[in-house]
A and B are shown apart, each in its own frame.
Chain A
Amino acid sequence: MNNPPGGSSSQDAAVQEFTIRVPKNVKKKHHVMRFNATLKVDFAKWTHVKMERENNIKEFKGIEEEMPKYGAGSEYGRDLREEARRKKFGITSRKYKPEDQPWILKIGGKKFKGIREGGVSENAAYYVFTHGVGNTIEAFPLLEWYNFQPIQRYKALSAEEAEQEFGRRNKVINYFSLMFRKRMRGEEGGDDADDPDEKKPKGAKAKKELKISEMDEWMASEDDSDDDSEEGEKDNDSDSAALTKKKRKVDDEAFEESDDGDEEGRERDYISDSSESESDHESKANKELKGVAEEDGLRKILTSEEESEEEQEQKQESEQEDEPTKEGEERASKLTKKAKKKGDEGKKESSSDFSSDSDTDPETSAPKKTKKTKTSEKNPPAANSSAPGSASTSRAGTPQPGAAAGAGGAAAAAVAAANAASAHAPSKRVKLDAAYTECGVTEEAVRRYLARKPMTTTELLTKFKSKRTGVSSDRLVETMTQILKRINPLKQNINGKMYLSINHT
């Protein structure tokens, strides 16, 4: 910094003298450029800077249509005539002065616009003192002040857009799902697959908001949870004794983990279409999302034998209460029909229970007896998992026996066989059975429902829930999943929902 006085600052307590000159006939006109300090402009670091006046001639001329000045389409003396015409109306046009336009400063990629500031030199004059030769200072008057501001490269939001964005301020976005969706879209180019895709993330989102994170985790890491927590269940199938205990534990755990109690009311509303009771829009949305999530959960259960019991339980419960009376009536008629069906079905089931189980369940390749016990065990679980279906049966009367009895001899026989099988089984299994039958969900019942017509898991659960068996939905779902696992029904996707069915063979 060679400040003017800085040159001879060595003497202390001394008086330095500089002579000031105001050089004349300098063609230069000095101006001030002002930057905000936050822009961190360092003049010394500038290397390649260009400046120009902004070209506003178009704005100045306004919307006046462009006429060719020359050649085709041009009119002789048009400008003059226009000017004369305007004058007639008392409009005197100001001339466009390019030297009055703001400066555009280009530093590398950055652009600044320097707008002249008025009023600065109204009551005082400004000079710039520069160090001249020797002890002289040259003073140049400063004519204009330009305030330089960076030019925005982006478009600002309009009022409406801003409002919209503001409304979104509290939304929590699941960035992972966002990215996932984007990727999917990129790959598939907007197929039907988009819908489920979109739904899933939503469900996940909703869950996150609801802080039912366990479920998310389950969904995401099916395998893990299978191996870890539900090991028990699988093992149950193969090993008989200790596993039942485990299972129960697991069940209990699952039950406790889910804070369904809170959600149940809503769920019921959702399923029974009485959602009007809840006026809150958001809660509705949540419900919807939840519903989707549940579906997902069930689907996953089926596909991956993963259990999101809580959800199902919720459904079951709500459904149980929804359809009790109807179901009863239906049941009656159904049961009569079923009785016939069961005649074959029940046989089928009972036979297939054992045989198909043995077929389908790799784990059940254990000796038949144990299998039977298993199946009987599983019946309840299966009933649970297929609870929608079997629940209805169990609801109609009380658990299996009644239903079976109502169903007819064949069914009864089947049940009896199952019971007998279970009788063979170790006491623990029996216990399990008891637990499952408690729920009123039997594999048999589930099979019946599935054989009649394809159903979604939700529907199945509804069937059982409507039977008012007083079983916690957790349990129901759990058993249902187990039963379904065992039955291993045909799965087919219709309208994005998974329908389960059993072939009559």
Chain B
Amino acid sequence: MTTPNAHPHIDRELDLSNSGRGVWLVKVPKYIANKWEKAPGNIDVGKLKISRAPGQKTQVQLYLSEGVLCLKEPGEQNIPKVHRLDVYNVTHQSLGVFSHVVPATTDAVVPESEKLYMEGRIVQKLECRPYADNTYYKLKSESIRKASMPQRQVQQLDRIVQNFKPVSDHKHNIDFLEKKKAEGKKARDDKDVVLNMLFAAFEKHQYYNIKDLQKITKQPIVYLKDILKEVCNYNLKNPHKNMWELKPEYRHYKQEVPVEPKPDKNSSDSD
């Protein structure tokens, strides 16, 4: 609800310079995707080999690079190196790829506008399938074992765990008292000064709670109330209940509020 939120709703041109380009949609297993995510951008993550033998189907194979295979945390299983890619055509739908640049949420003074690019049309779908070899079976069995492990385990305790201790004085209370002491007692300012502050406040909003006004003007509440009674009306009824507003003669809002709840004249608060 702050300013950056306004941006996504702005019409943005879609950059179509790549819209004619054909791209491949490749479905890969999660374990490969994890590796690729971790891999730095400057290394080869794998090789795509397309072998076309006459009279045979074209074979597409994916060889993961050693660098990627080595990227593993301790205890992680090896992943198979070679996968075959099954090629499908896109049917019954037209698929496209678009991208958008998310402006860095950093402190750019002029926030980058989000840009949209058309990246191309998906012409073929490839599905990456592992060869069912030993490595793969090991990987799978390990993942199954992990999945079957219960997430919560029973643990025996030898002594009482005390997770709550009573506190005589909470920290924020102490802080607050200290701060109050430092401020000292609220002194009664000159009435004109207070009035000026009040008018300034009422310029921004029409209705104020007395507590807010007290915070704004930093006046003792009794004194503030005296002044308020002079220039303000107190609302007793529900829209804007318990709020102060300026008497009509002091008001000069640009657009008058059409239906002003007539404030009671005898709004003398028991003070």
Chain A residues proximal to chain B, CB less than 8 Å = 1-6, 9, 11-25, 27-37, 39, 41-44, 46-55, 70-77, 95-96, 98-99, 101, 105-106, 123-131, 137, 139-142
Q: Which residues of A contact B16 (CB under 8 A)?
A: 43, 46-47, 49
Could you say which of A25, A43, A51, A127 contacts B116, with CB atoms under 8 Å apart? A51
A-B pairs with beta carbons under 8 Å apart, 16 shown: A12-B54, A14-B51, A16-B52, A27-B101, A28-B101, A30-B99, A32-B96, A34-B94, A75-B240, A76-B209, A105-B14, A126-B27, A128-B122, A130-B24, A131-B21, A139-B45
How far, in Å, is A45 (CB) from chain B's closest CB?
Answer: 9
14 additional A-B pairs beyond A15-B51, A29-B101, beta carbons within 8 Å, are A14-B51, A16-B50, A20-B47, A32-B97, A33-B96, A34-B96, A36-B93, A43-B94, A48-B13, A51-B98, A52-B9, A54-B9, A71-B253, A124-B33
* Contact present for B205 and A31 (CB under 8 Å): no
Query: Is B19 close to A, CB under 8 A?
Result: yes
* Contact present for A3 and B24 (CB under 8 Å): yes
Known pairs A27-B104, A98-B8; A139 contacts B26 (CB<8 A): yes
* Contact present for A126 and B123 (CB under 8 Å): no
Q: Which residues of A contact B41 (CB under 8 A)?
A: 21-25
Q: Which residues of B contact A46 (CB under 8 A)?
A: 14, 16, 19, 118
Q: Which residues of A contact B25 (CB under 8 A)?
A: 32, 126-129, 142
Closest to B4 in A: A98
* Contact present for A96 and B5 (CB under 8 Å): yes
Known pairs A31-B98, A76-B205, A130-B119; A37 contacts B92 (CB<8 A): yes
Known pairs A16-B50, A20-B46; A71 contacts B204 (CB<8 A): yes
* Contact present for B12 and A50 (CB under 8 Å): yes
How far, in Å, is B99 (CB) from chain A's closest CB?
Answer: 4
How far, in Å, is B91 (CB) from chain A's closest CB?
Answer: 7
Q: Which residues, 46 to 71 on B, are CB-close (under 8 Å) to A?
A: 46-54, 60, 62
How far, in Å, is B212 (CB) from chain A's closest CB?
Answer: 5
Query: Is B39 close to A, CB under 8 A?
Result: yes
Q: Which residues, 167 to 181 on B, are CB-close (under 8 Å) to A?
A: none
Closest to B128 in A: A124
How far, in Å, is A203 (CB) from chain B's closest CB?
Answer: 52
Could you say which of B32, B50, B122 contacts A125, with CB atoms under 8 Å apart? B32
Could you say which of B8, B22, B104, B116 contacts A99, with CB atoms under 8 Å apart? B8
* Contact present for B29 and A124 (CB under 8 Å): yes
Binding-face segment, B151-159, B183-191, B254-262, B263-271: B254-262
Q: Which residues of B contact A128 (CB under 8 A)?
A: 23-26, 97, 119-120, 122
Could you say which of A99, A137, A141 contacts B33, with CB atoms under 8 Å apart? A141
Q: Which residues of A contact B116 (CB under 8 A)?
A: 51
Q: Which residues of A contact B108 (CB under 8 A)?
A: none
Q: Which residues, 193 to 210 on B, are CB-close (under 8 Å) to A?
A: 201, 203-209
* Contact present for A13 and B53 (CB under 8 Å): yes
Q: Which residues of A contact B49 (CB under 8 A)?
A: 15-18
* Contact present for A129 and B24 (CB under 8 Å): yes
Cα A71 to Cα B10 in complex, Å, equals 27
Could you say which of A31, A74, A106 contacts B97, with CB atoms under 8 Å apart? A31
How far, in Å, is A4 (CB) from chain B's closest CB?
Answer: 6
Cα A137 to Cα B26 in complex, Å, equals 12
Query: Is B220 close to A, CB under 8 A?
Result: no
* Contact present for A50 and B11 (CB under 8 Å): yes
Cα A124 to Cα B31 in complex, Å, equals 9
Closest to B85 in A: A129
Query: Is B111 close to A, CB under 8 A?
Result: no
